Amino acid sequence: MLKKIIKGIEYEIITEFEADGQGNAIAKTIVEEGETSENKYRLRTGVKNPLTQVPFNNDIDAFNAYIDGVPDTHFNIYWEDPAPEEGE
């Protein structure tokens, strides 16, 4: 499990790729068993590592290594993607 300290608080980081290859890292609160965690921060990348310009190619280990190394200031307050328009 990937963890990161953002603004002095430790969060669990959930990483995934979208269908188009963009990466998402979501910082969730760490809670006790039975409690519900909250999404607090999010970092989204394109299909390439922003530092090296090497494509991630859906390699979650490479994406996790990038996320582990970026400063916490790269994370934004969490946001939900807008729902797709009807017919899309």
Domain that holds residue 66: 2-77
- Tell me how far apart the alpha carbons of residues 87 and 77 are, in angstroms, rounded to a whole number: 29
Residue 17 lies in a domain: yes
Residue 34 lies in a domain: yes
3-class DSSP assignment, residue 41:
strand
Residue-wise pLDDT for 16-35, tens only, equals 999 999 999 999 999 999 99
Number of domains in the chain: 1
User: pTM of the prediction?
Assistant: 0.88
- Tell me how far apart the alpha carbons of residues 43 and 55 are, in angstroms, rounded to a whole number: 17
pLDDT band at 82 (very low <50, low <70, confident <90, very high): confident
Residue 48 lies in a domain: yes
Contact 21, 41 (CB under 8 A): no
Q: Which H helix or E strand runs over 63? A: helix 60-69
**How confident is the prediction for the chain on average, in pLDDT?**
94
